[in-house]
Amino acid sequence: MQKKFLTTLLSLCVLLSSTFAQDEEEPDYFTSPFQFTFLFPPLSTNGFHNSRTVNKISLNLLLGRSGGVDGVELGGFINSDKYFVKGMQVAGFGNISGGSAIGAQVSGFFNYQETLHAEHNLQAI
């Protein structure tokens, strides 16, 4: 049971972070003052534009995916941002940033950022 859970979790993390291996182009994204993800993307207020939207406030009930956060992101399980995190990112299990994480990342298990610029990175095991 635990092996199946860990395999599923690892697959999910790889799936969420697979978009990070793209060309180094200027990011083309939208901005939004607020977004809410119900269970998983694209079931969110940003819909299918979730990976191209940078949010000021992002609330994710279970899994959240966005272009980035420039403020606060709170998630029940995993938060994943394609471009960057500026501010605070808090998740029950883990946080993923496809670029830098400037501010604080707090999670129950892991925090990941593509470029290591995290100022405060707290995780409990």
Give tens-digit pLDDT for 16-71: 555 444 545 655 889 999 999 999 899 999 999 999 999 999 999 999 999 999 99
Give tens-digit pLDDT for 79-101: 999 999 999 999 999 999 999 99
Rounded Cα distance, 125 and 117, in Å: 22
The pLDDT of residue 117 is 64
Rounded Cα distance, 73 and 23, in Å: 26
- pTM assigned to the model: 0.75
Residue 1, CB-side half-sphere exposure with 13 Å CA sphere = 0
Is the model more confident about 107 or about 14?
107
